[in-house]
Amino acid sequence: MPAGAGREPLDLTLRLRHAAVDLHAVAAAIARGSRAPMTRREFAARFGAAAADIEAVVAWARRAGVAVVQVDRTRRSVHVRAAAGRLARIFRVARVRYRRDGEVWDGYDGTISVPRALAASVTGVTGFDRQPGHAARPLAATGSPARSVSFTPQGIARHYGFPRRADGSGQTIGVIALGGAVLRSDIAAFFEEMRLPRPQVTVVGVAGRAGGHAPSGEVTGDVQTAGGLAPGARIVVYMAPNTERGFLEAVSHAVHDRRRAPSVISISWGRNEMHWVRRTLRHFDDVLAEAAALGISVCCSSGDTGALADRFDRRPRVCFPASSRYVIACGGTSLARRHGLPVRERPWANRLGASGGGTSAVFPRPAWQQGVATGGVARRRRVPDVAANADPDSGYRVCFEGRWVVGAGTSASAPVWAGLLARVNQMRGTPAGLVTPLLYRRYRALVAGGAIRPIADRPGAGAPARWSVHTGLGVPGGARLASALARPV
């Protein structure tokens, strides 16, 4: 490290233990439909950090000369700040400066060791690794404006038969944004051109990120797709640094945002689950379980490189957070549109990418995925659960920096499902929450009623019997699926 490098301030988040009650058991019961989602007040009382644990951390910080920036009992987190070198010594790691592909960032070497005074209270620490994109990568790029086939929100809504009597009114969709911003002028131009009412878009800065940064095609496409498909909903963009801590903090803030209370969260970011620090991955999965407990639907992109989660690991892998049991993992399809003929839909796999899918190496098979595969892999979580259009050759119109381009990837299929679920929540009058158990449990009836449409793995092949590694259970039959989900169960 350069001389004096340890003097700059560093922010860390200390994650505290939750109550003795098993959060995951409660989330599973809610997913089965055997109990109703928790209210935010009930959740805070049952799973919030113990006062004694908070007091122990604050007392330790005072003795150690570490500033306490923020305490959040509900999220069980304490945000601290001190000189980077001092924090590295306290947690017994070596700070390292990395360089790759023209980027420079500070990270660490070794295993984070929690001081003895905190061992009973603190279950994890994030913030030492500040690699750009370390914990999350956009899973789709903005395509070329020259592509001849692209879809408007109205076109996608027609193709998937979205319910016309709902537009997401009264709902809030949370959009996770890492390392980029969205231009208000692009939002205004998009909805004016689409002749749709412009939704209210609010930006919330998380972990030191509060706007004023370069616009991101990823974030812009997410906002325009979700907002175009649910124009009555409010859109809240949770903007955080594109780091491990930033990603986790953005999702945690969205889940526990009492003021805006999103009922649906769209995440178009992810990373090979084997490249996560295992303890951080478990903490992130806890946050997603908290979303399920609160009745929040979390839609995640499954990835754009088929069976390979990224270009650094050539072994078949899946991406997290799509591999969590508490999210709706969204894969991708390709739409072939010919003049005068119906749109043909097939799994997305071509020169531009492929729908991410496969078997988790970390998470066990949820009870509701029984029977989706045979053999040893059946004991693990399978990805994706569902799908929607994702091919850049049949992508989505996006206004970015004043230009009309085409965006795609499974980072587009996630906001498609988010927009649909916002309409479902409006029709229900209560959040649908984690819908995947119901989709698997009632799969045959949903297919028979046109609420789910399976996608054949290849042209001329029959529809998969239950689940496909490319497209999961299939794509939505919007209005019919909405009607099936609109009845609280």
Active site residues: 218, 222, 411
Distances (CA, A) of 249 to 174, 214, 253, 297: 13, 20, 6, 18
Distance CA 100, CA 106 (A): 12
Contact 363, 357 (CB under 8 A): no
Query: By the 8 A CB rule, do 141 and 388 touch?
Result: no
Interior angle at CA 388, CA 386 and CA 391, nearest 5: 130
* Cis ω before 321 (30° cut-off from 0): yes
Confirm if 476 and 345 have CB atoms less than 8 A apart. no
CA distances in angstroms from 41 to 45, 48, 141, 282, listed in the order given: 6, 10, 40, 24
Q: Which DSSP symbol is given to 235? A: E
Burial degree of 255 (CB within 10 A; 0-12, 13-18, 19+): buried
SS3 category, 433? coil
